[in-house]
Amino acid sequence: MANHVDLTAIMTALGGRQAMQDVLGVGASAISNYIARGSVPTHVRSKLYNALTARGYQVRLDDLSILCGPDAATSQIKKPMVLLIIGGGIAAYKALETARRMQQLGLDVTGVLTKSAAQFITPLSVAALTNQKCYDDLFSLTDEAEMGHIRLARSADLVLVMPATANLMARAACGLADDLATTILLATTTPILMAPAMNPAMWAHPATIANQAILRQRGIHMIGPTEGDTACGEIGSGRMSEPADIAATAFELAVKRPQSLAGKTAIVTAGPTVEPIDSVRFIANHSSGKQGYAIAVALAARGASVTLISGPVALPAPPQLQLVSVQTARDMQAAAHAALPADIAICAAAVADWRVAEASHAKLKKPDHRTDTQMQLSLVENPDILAALGQSDQRPTLLVGFAAETEDVLENATAKRHRKQCDWIVANQVGAADDPVFGSDQNHIMLISETAVENWPRMLKTELADKLADRIAMEFGT
């Protein structure tokens, strides 16, 4: 039985009956009908959902009830709270930017400084930025009177530790509670996310490896570290993940979404594929994998069981899903086939269309003579993973492809949807000098289905992933 929909509340939010008629493209009598029935068909539900979310409302999927108005700051609804434990490392200053980004995502942040973190940033700067008291002392009588450390630990929707230093990780792994930060880690019952940052030799040390394994086993989520220059001047793994990535992961973990895709299985392909030319060279492309990863995370956050099949990317493995790392298009196809059956498949990978017919096992040498300066490579076509899923006996119920087009986006993407037999195509224009998609955090797409073309506004790739995941849930009627 369809859920009751409060159409009067929706009408008010949209700006009246006429505005609602315009959104739905129907006359007054249809609206009266919907109000009388207290329910709407699925395609109408999806239009109303889009119109409300585009106006900044947070809307529940099952009955379109409005959770939160466009100005969440003035709303009475409690925002999810992140307890931000800042460790004593040079990357501590990045906690401030992360706090700001989390606030932009609609999270409340309360800071906790370790004693050594206070050598790098002040409690005052954290308090000023977060608009909340910053805690730093386990034995403060005033703090205990206002908010005991146990209540502080329990009041959060997520505890984020950044930078997670080798020392802080070791103390947490041992279960020490000798300061406020470690006491909170021991007392909290909410999820914990750690963003390690340290010297590459410290990160690679067997003691840190063992501590990290213990923390992961206990269900603590990790983001990073990544490869690159570290503050101490050494290059290697130990650099803290970027504030934007940490904030996005914190958001996913802190916001308890309705498990609208619980019980559903999903395959997501992401990133580039890499096709060897010889033992040292390859053909690849600029895909960063960000959009595919964000979609996989959004589906998993709604309770779907997700297999993310990824080409080589510089992104951390997301929590709560199965990551299968591949190199070539053929590896990706084999992994996608192995992950069937699935309810949902989303092919966001930029698969190389061609591979070298016979990749050399040894490094190809230049010819000795200098007369012929041309090099010929013989290429053969790679399998089309999306098209194969479309024709499979085990075709997923909802198959979604991407179309990156440099021109005639709508025509080319519509033709691609037919050719590859998928239900939806997410189409975007690539190659415009002033609007990069590859590597960017934003995307601007059209969602093309059998019956409609929707032009979505430019938004963050993470927002797009959330909107797409909500649309998918709606398609399954959940």
Binding site for ligand CTP (CB under 6 A): 269, 329, 347, 349, 351, 353, 382, 384-386, 401-404, 416
In the DSSP assignment, the letter for residue 272 is B
* Identity of the residue, 251 or 402, whose beta carbon is nearer to ligand CTP in the bound complex: 402
d(CA 169, CA 149): 20
> Is there a contact between 192 and 87 (Cβ–Cβ < 8 Å)?
no
CB of 375 to ligand CTP, least distance (A): 23
Does the active-site annotation cover 232? yes
In a 13 Å sphere around the CA of 435, the CA atoms on its Cβ side amount to 13
CB of 306 to ligand CTP, least distance (A): 16
d(CA 181, CA 189): 14
Instruction: Indicate the residue type of 306.
Output: V
Q: Which of 24, 71, 74, 68 is nearest to 50 (CA)?
A: 24
* Identity of the residue, 153 or 268, whose beta carbon is nearer to ligand CTP in the bound complex: 268
CB of 55 to ligand CTP, least distance (A): 30
Q: How far is CA 380 from CA 49, 275, 302, 358, 359, in A?
A: 45, 11, 39, 9, 11
CB of 264 to ligand CTP, least distance (A): 20
* Identity of the residue, 222 or 351, whose beta carbon is nearer to ligand CTP in the bound complex: 351
* Identity of the residue, 237 or 285, whose beta carbon is nearer to ligand CTP in the bound complex: 285
The helix (H) or strand (E) run that includes residue 72 is none
Residue 365 CB neighbours (<10 A): 8
* Identity of the residue, 20 or 267, whose beta carbon is nearer to ligand CTP in the bound complex: 267
Catalytic hit among 68, 232, 347, 422: 232
CB of 461 to ligand CTP, least distance (A): 15
Q: What are the structure tokens assigned to 10, written together?
A: 């929706």
Q: What are the structure tokens assigned to 6, written together?
A: 């409060």
Three-class secondary structure of residue 356 per DSSP: strand
The residues annotated as belonging to the active site are: 232
